[in-house]
Amino acid sequence: MSIQHLPLAPELAVSDWFNTPSPITLEGLRGKVVYLHSFQLLCPGCVAESLPQVKRIERLFANTDLKVIGLHTVFEHHAAMTPVTLKAFIHEYRLTSPIGVDQAGDGDVPVTMARYGLRGTPSSVLIGRDGTILHHAFGVEDDMAVGARIAMALAQPVPAAAGEVSDGNCADGRCALPGTEA
């Protein structure tokens, strides 16, 4: 049984994907560090600050296995921010990382946004190699802090994948069942 101190990041619920040939799941990315940023195309702070920062993140960590994923979490003005408008937005702002449209929920708040309990946009979630939430933020944080935090996450060792025979689980003279010790 895995000893989990940090909460496991809930899976994404996405109705449309852009900039990726096939749908993406967090489960499929286990072992990598994921920077998930939630935005709305009519959110001034997202356009002015968080999306440019995401580009700086992509550039700085281009040679690492960091995976940057955008999530269009529309919780207001739904008729104004359709996938048609999002597609043109992605084109005009030259966004190149995968971006998913958060699946519509029962009320105004979409499904993934609710699962993560995000308070608004922009928000970001840093997910560690073991799939746990290392940090989440509402609003934009300083570049230096963001860079430091991602670097720390990348410095964590890659956990042994479930079902894979690995010496990584053997330590201190004993071997654990796969996936039970991070």
Residues lying near its own copies in the complex (CB under 8 A) are found at 42-44, 47-48, 56-57, 60-61, 77, 79-81, 84-85, 87-89, 91-93, 142-152, 155
Q: Following CA atoms 11, 82, 45, 29 in sequence, which dihedral angle do they give, to the nearest 10 degrees?
A: 20
Distance CA 109, CA 76 (A): 8
Minimum distance between the CB of residue 43 and its own copies, rounded to whole angstroms?
7
Minimum distance between the CB of residue 76 and its own copies, rounded to whole angstroms?
8
**Please, which residue, 24 or 109, has the CB nearer to its own copies?**
109
**Please, which residue, 29 or 41, has the CB nearer to its own copies?**
41
**Please, which residue, 40 or 112, has the CB nearer to its own copies?**
40
Minimum distance between the CB of residue 135 and its own copies, rounded to whole angstroms?
13
Q: What is the gyration radius of the CA atoms in the chain, in angstroms?
A: 17
Minimum distance between the CB of residue 5 and its own copies, rounded to whole angstroms?
18
Q: What string of H, E and C letters represents the secondary structure of the chain?
A: CCCCCCCECCCCCEEEEECCCCCCCCHHHCCCCEEEEEECCCCHHHHHHHHHHHHHHHHHCCCCCCEEEEEECCCCCHHHCCHHHHHHHHHHCCCCCCEEEECCCCCCCCHHHHHHCCCCCCEEEEECCCCEEEEEEECCCCHHHHHHHHHHHHHCCCCCCCCCCCHHHEECCEECCCCCCC
Minimum distance between the CB of residue 108 and its own copies, rounded to whole angstroms?
14
**Please, which residue, 155 or 177, has the CB nearer to its own copies?**
155
Minimum distance between the CB of residue 61 and its own copies, rounded to whole angstroms?
8
**Please, which residue, 144 or 165, has the CB nearer to its own copies?**
144
**Please, which residue, 77 or 119, has the CB nearer to its own copies?**
77
